[in-house]
Structure 1
C-alpha cells in the first residue's frame, strides 16, 4: 500500500508540474504583450517571488519527511479541499484573463481592465488563491511550520507586488476596479463621488 507521504509528494509534484506549465503560458503571453508595446515593472520583486514559490514547493515535502509529520486526518482532507479550490480559482483567473494573464507585471498601453469572471468580486483573485494555497498545501500533511513561515513571507511579498501592480495599471484601473475588495470577497465600495466625507 502506498504511504500517505508518497501520495503527498506526488500531489506536490503535480502542483509543481502545473506551475511549470503556467510559466510556459506566461512566457507566450509576455511575448505577445511586448509585441503590442507592453512595459514590464517590478522585475526585482518578481525574482524574490519566484524564489519564494520554488522554495515553498520544496519545503512542503521536506518538512513532512525531516520532521516526521503525520497525515492529520480530517484537517488534511479539509486542507486538500482548500488547495483544490485554490487551483480552480487560479484556472478561472487564467481563462478569464486569456492573453493578458502573466506571472509578471506587463502593462499594454490602452488595454482595459478585465472585469469579468472572478474579477467581478475581487481585484486580485489570483493572489487570493496563492494565499489559500500557502496555508492549505503544507497542511495537507501537517507541515504547519512551512504554512506559517511561507504565509508570512508571502504576505510581505504581496504587499510590494500589489502596490506595484496597481500603480502600473494606473488611474483607469483604479477608477474601474478600485471599489472592489482586493483579496476577500465582500461588498463593492461605492464610486468616489458617492462616498461621504471630504
Structure 2
C-alpha cells in the first residue's frame, strides 16, 4: 500500500505543477505579476524534502502502517477531494506561486465562499495525515512545524498582493 499511495501523491503533485505552469503562462499573458517569489524556492524545497523524509522514515526505519490507518487514509482521501474542489473553484487562477492579475475579481465560490485560504488548510492536513498513516511521526511533526513557518511568510505575502491589486479588501471586509 505504501508505494501505491506515495506514487499516486507524487504523480498528482507533478500533474499539478504542469497545471500551475499552464495557468501561470495564461495569467502572465493577461498582465499578471508574481509576488513572494523570494520564498517560493524554499517552499518547493520543503515539499521535496517532505517526500524524501517520508520515504526515508518509512523505509529506513521500517515504519508500519498506523493501527488506525483506515481513518488516516479516509481523511487523506477527503483532503484530495477538497484539493480538487479548490483547484476547480479557482480555475485558471489556481497556482503554486502567488500570481495576481490586477483588477481581477477575487474568487468567492466553492470553499473560497467560507474560508480565504482553504488550500493551505488542506496542505497542512496532508503534511500531518500522510506521515501519520505510515507511523512516520518525525516527518509529521517536523513538516507541520516547517509548514507553519512557511505559511507565516506566504499568507501575508499573498494577502498583501491581493489587497494591493484586486478587490480582496472589499470581498473579505479587511484592512
Normalising TM by the smaller chain, what interval?
Answer: over 0.9
Gaps of 5+ in 2: none
Q: How far apart are residue 17 of structure 1 and its match?
A: 0.5
TM-score (norm 1): 0.84
1:30 counterpart SS class:
helix
- Residue in structure 2 matching 1:37, options 31, 45, 58: 31
- Residue-pair matches, total: 173
Match of 1:52 in 2: 46
In the alignment, the residues of structure 2 paired with residue 116 and residue 167 of structure 1 have an alpha-carbon distance, to the nearest angstrom, of: 21
Cα displacement string for residues 35-56 of structure 1 (whole angstroms, at most 9, x for unaligned residues): 0110101111111001111111
- The answer to whether the 8 A contact 1:166-1:174 is kept is no
Structure with max Cα Rg: 1
In the TM superposition, 1:107-122 aligns within 5 A as 107-122=100-115
- Answering whether residue 81 of structure 2 is matched by residue 88 of structure 1, we say yes
In the alignment, the residues of structure 1 paired with residue 61 and residue 32 of structure 2 have an alpha-carbon distance, to the nearest angstrom, of: 46
In the alignment, the residues of structure 1 paired with residue 8 and residue 160 of structure 2 have an alpha-carbon distance, to the nearest angstrom, of: 34
TM-score (norm 2): 0.94
Q: How far apart are residue 178 of structure 1 and its match?
A: 4.5
Provide runs of 4+ in structure 1 moved above 2 Å. none
Relative contact order (C-alpha < 8 Å, sep 6+): which is higher?
2
1:68 counterpart SS class:
coil
Q: RMSD in angstroms over aligned alpha carbons?
A: 1.3
